[in-house]
Amino acid sequence: MKFSTLFPVFIAVLVCQVQADLITVAVNIILTIIRKNLERDEYVGLIPDVKFRFPDAVKDLAAGTLELKDVRLHGFKDAVKTLIATDGSDQKYSIQNVKIYFDVPQVSLEMQYDADLGFVDEIPIYGTGNIRLEISKLLLHLTTEVSISKTEWLKDTTVESLKLDFGFRHSSKSEITNFWRNDTASKFLSTVINILIELFSMWFNYERECINCIASEAIMKIANKILHPDKDIDPKFTCECLKDIFKGKYKLEDTIETLISNYNNNENITDIVTTIRQDVNLRRLYYNGADYILNVLGEKETLKEFGL
């Protein structure tokens, strides 16, 4: 075979390889920019300042305004980060194997609030202060395979597979300040928030494999729908845990009962009961809220059996 015949073939192969390399380089540049920005900034701004007012249509249930400012996510600067793309191309497609790993010691969502709200004319929520919600040992591992056409990058790109592994622990450092413009009420509510986060963390870790499976498939379906809005996406999920839920093998009330029985931080519960007993406003809020809930449920009794 003459060299003149081989030359066009050689050029075609070279162009394909260069295109594949360029795609890999482009993806890695984007990932590097993300990583550098996270390393440079103390926080990530999530949303602009917002002010919400309940409409008059629901004034019998809720009324008032809530303003949130400086909503920021802290902690990613100190994270152990891996963001990289490697190429596994064939003749037609550049197959980008993307890995995004975050291991973060502490993550906190922080904001300023200004609230003047009322619910069912019985439960007031007001104050101007700060809210901090914190978790620890955040783990976010995402591996995905993206197929990118070498000839039509944007028109023929598909997320072929995606696996998410997400986990976290509670930290007991969440707090709200100046709630009701009262230190006792703020400490009380901060204790409640920390208990709820701990219980949610326990539940999440019990169901972690199932949640991650559902999230992985959902993210992949959404990504492909964004890339190809004109194409139908299969709505079915293949996670085995969903089959147990639909067959009635999974019962949420059993999980909740297990969580409560395994929750052993009795000191926090004792602090809550003691605080309610000692503070007149908290006792009034407790009874108003409890009576409203019981009325909705059709119950006539109160919760005095709990010693409050």
* Mean predicted confidence (pLDDT) in 100-111: 90
pLDDT at 266: 59
Q: 145 CB contacts (<8 Å, ≥6 apart)?
A: 95, 96, 97, 98, 159, 160, 161, 162
> Where do the structural domains in the chain lie, given as residue ranges?
11-231
Amino acid present at 256 = I
What are the strands, taking DSSP E only, across the chain?
43-47, 50-53, 62-74, 80-87, 93-119, 123-149, 157-170, 175-176
CA distance 10 to 13: 5
pLDDT at 274: 67
* Per-residue pLDDT at 35 exceeds 50: yes
Amino acid present at 167 = G
In this structure, what token pair is assigned to residue 58?
């629901």
pLDDT at 5: 43
Tens of pLDDT, residue by residue over 126-182, are 999 999 999 998 998 988 888 876 666 556 788 888 999 999 988 878 999 999 888
In this structure, what token pair is assigned to residue 292?
């409203």
Tens of pLDDT, residue by residue over 279-307, are 666 666 666 665 655 565 554 444 444 44
DSSP character string of 270-307: HHHHHHHHH-HHHHHHHHHHHHHHHHHHT----SGGG-
Picking from 84, 88, 94, the residue whose alpha carbon sits closest to that of residue 158 is 94
Picking from 37, 43, 191, the residue whose alpha carbon sits closest to that of residue 111 is 43
User: 130, 163 in Cβ contact below 8 A?
Assistant: no
Q: Rounded to the nearest 5 degrees, what angle is found at the Cα of 226, between the Cα atoms of 15 and 100?
A: 70
* pTM exceeding 0.75: no
Virtual CA dihedral for 72, 73, 77, 81, nearest 10 degrees?
Answer: -150
pLDDT at 305: 46
User: 249, 240 in Cβ contact below 8 A?
Assistant: no
Give Dmax over CA atoms of the chain in angstroms: 97
Picking from 60, 42, 63, 44, the residue whose alpha carbon sits closest to that of residue 52 is 63
* Mean predicted confidence (pLDDT) in 111-120: 91
Q: pLDDT-based confidence at 59, cuts 50/70/90? A: confident
In this structure, what token pair is assigned to residue 253?
């009330």
Q: pLDDT-based confidence at 64, cuts 50/70/90? A: very high
What is the share, in percent, of the chain residues with pLDDT greater than 70? 67
R_g over Cα of the chain? 26
* Mean predicted confidence (pLDDT) in 192-199: 87
Handedness of CA 291, 297, 302, 305 (dihedral sign): negative
pLDDT at 250: 62
Picking from 111, 117, 114, the residue whose alpha carbon sits closest to that of residue 131 is 111
Q: pLDDT-based confidence at 241, cuts 50/70/90? A: confident
Picking from 172, 215, 210, the residue whose alpha carbon sits closest to that of residue 192 is 172
